[in-house]
Amino acid sequence: MLDLLIFQPFSAILRWLYVLTGSFGLALILFQLVIKAVTFPFAKKGKRGMLQQQMLAPKQKELEAQFKGDKQKYQAALQEMYQKEGVNPMSGCLWNLLPMPILFMVFAIVRQPITYLMRLTGDQIDALSAAFGLEGINVAFREMELASRLFNSQSRAIAALPELRDALFINFNFLGLDLAQQPAAPWVRLEWLIIIPILSCAAAYGSMLVTNKINGTQLEGKGKMLSMMMPLMSLWFGFIMPAAMGVFWIASSVFQVAQDLYLTKHYKKVFAEEAAEREKRQERQRLAEAEIKAENQKRRDDQEAARKAAARAAQSKYKLKKKPGGK
């Protein structure tokens, strides 16, 4: 089921993008854009829930001050506030977590181009690994290196496996960099490929800064230290994996910033329109209530005037009867 729903369609998209562009690096960037488009509905719902909670933060602090020392009453008041405002406190995290399994599978597609783009079987990969001296290692983590060797030695690859005659060979050269290679640490040797993990770290850090700023999050102490984990992990993974993965993460960070900025602007406009519409409804309700109140008051005044008129008439009639000769 996963192969049918995730691996086959997404690998077909990446393969088509590579054939279309002729560049594996550009195909990865466009592929990341496709992934953002697919997971956008989840991100949209998650962002709405997050911003709604952010808007309720001042009221939440008021409840904390009001019920200080009484957790049970505070939680009850908090839940009542969420229900009244129509906010699910778990929606922000839940909708952001749902796409994670898809992202892990997509990660495997990018990391294993021979399996998912060249569409070779395990036995064929083992035969090629033996022919190119990669036998006995975890080829799943070295498929890019093997795929690069196949591209650079296509005649040798076809000789080792004739079925490759009609296969899709992948060129990992992007802007003069070999994306199939693993960047070396600067103290090992200096090379242009080192720019990939550095940019990956910088992009992750920039994405974190933008997200915190638009969410109004101020990190201090341990929170600030924990927020640095993702940029540092991007840097570390950039050095222990092929450069193509770094390009993939850079594109992810850049598109994430664009998505956050768009959704924040969109929902601020939506919330402003909803607030204006709510104010209009409340104003119409106030006017309707005032009109009903005025009508009720007028009815009561008319009834009171009628009662008084009837009383005066009855009194006049009574006086007429008391007069001499009255009937």
Residue 11 inside a domain? The answer is: no
Question: What residue has token string 């509905």?
Answer: 41
Q: What is the arithmetic mean of pLDDT over 237-257?
A: 90
Per-residue model confidence (pLDDT) at position 13? 94
Per-residue model confidence (pLDDT) at position 6? 82
Q: What is the arithmetic mean of pLDDT over 212-236?
A: 73
Q: For residue 202, give the amino acid letter.
A: A
Residue 219 has pLDDT above 70, yes or no: no
Residue 157 inside a domain? The answer is: no
Residue 208 inside a domain? The answer is: yes
Q: For residue 114, give the amino acid letter.
A: I
pLDDT band at 319 (very low <50, low <70, confident <90, very high): low
Per-residue model confidence (pLDDT) at position 323? 61
Per-residue model confidence (pLDDT) at position 24? 93
The dihedral over CA atoms of 248, 251, 257, 261, expressed in degrees to the nearest 10, equals -130
Q: Name which of 10-19, 108-117, 244-253, 314-323 the model is least confident about.
A: 314-323
Compute the mean pLDDT over every residue in the chain, rounded to the nearest whole number.
Answer: 83
Per-residue model confidence (pLDDT) at position 310? 80
- The closest of 38, 10, 143 to 18, measured between CA atoms, is 10
d(CA 218, CA 229): 16
Residue 309 inside a domain? The answer is: yes
Per-residue model confidence (pLDDT) at position 318? 67
Question: Which residues make Cβ contacts (< 8 Å) with residue 33, sequence separation at least 6?
Answer: 251, 255
Per-residue model confidence (pLDDT) at position 188? 61
Residue 190 inside a domain? The answer is: yes
* DSSP track, 27-87: HHHHHHHHHHHHHHHHHHHHHHHHHHHHHTHHHHHHHHHHTTT-HHHHHHHHHHHHHHHT-
Per-residue model confidence (pLDDT) at position 275? 80
Dihedral over Cα of 231, 254, 95, 27: its sign: negative
The number of folded domains in the chain is: 1
Structural tokens at position 150: 């196949």
Residue 322 has pLDDT above 70, yes or no: no
For the segment 169-203, what is each residue's pLDDT rounded down to a tens digit? 999 999 889 998 888 777 666 678 889 999 999 99
pTM, two decimal places? 0.79
Residue 215 inside a domain? The answer is: yes
- The closest of 230, 197, 251 to 32, measured between CA atoms, is 251
Contact 67, 77 (CB under 8 A): yes
* DSSP track, 215-251: HT----THHHHHHTHHHHHHHHHHHHS-HHHHHHHHH
Residue 282 inside a domain? The answer is: yes
For the segment 37-59, what is each residue's pLDDT rounded down to a tens digit? 999 998 888 888 888 777 777 77
Residue 193 inside a domain? The answer is: yes
For the segment 262-310, what is each residue's pLDDT rounded down to a tens digit? 998 898 888 888 888 878 888 888 888 888 988 888 888 888 888 888 8
Question: Which residues make Cβ contacts (< 8 Å) with residue 244, sequence separation at least 6?
Answer: 24, 25, 28, 110, 144, 172, 179, 180
Per-residue model confidence (pLDDT) at position 32? 94
Question: What residue has token string 């800064």?
Answer: 209
The residue range of the domain holding 272 is 181-327
Per-residue model confidence (pLDDT) at position 65? 77
Taking residue 10's Cβ as centre, other Cβ atoms within 10 Å add up to 21
